[in-house]
Structure 1
């Protein structure tokens, strides 16, 4: 349940990051994301990726996919609560993909 002061439209935005092969023992990459609703953190996660990525680019894409799935779930959950008619704006997920672009 969410307590939002001020009414109006809800703005959901996310941030995600990935670290390629952050654990040298099992070659797994790390994914993390945080979601904010009207500027307040409502969800976050940091965990090893289930799939072993072969490159930084692949690790970034896996992390983006995980964050996108969470964004869809969060938006649907908020709409089903019926507190507001809907979230009209698309959910923006900010990504740090400099490593993926460099390759």
Structure 2
């Protein structure tokens, strides 16, 4: 894949949106967690892009952008902690979310 012209905030917003949609619903509490990490304009722009991507495109974009931004192990750990906060924000950590967390841990730590 070519380069992705995302800022670090846009990358974080995309990854959190990807995670939030793992159970096929994105509730207001999850949106609020994402907006607490990035500004509203970034959230909306990335949300529009996310809505137009399939899972494969999303994964490729995430991997390309992580590489471009030279994410360190510590950066990945912080990102995974944010994902956990997102998953617990609605008071439920269901099987789909648990599976997505495992998947993202493997994907991001490669």
Indicate the TM-score class for this superposition, using the shorter chain for normalisation.
0.3 to 0.5
TM score, norm. by length of structure 2 = 0.32
Q: Which has the larger radius of gyration?
A: 1
Answer 1 or 2: which has greater strand percent.
Answer: 1
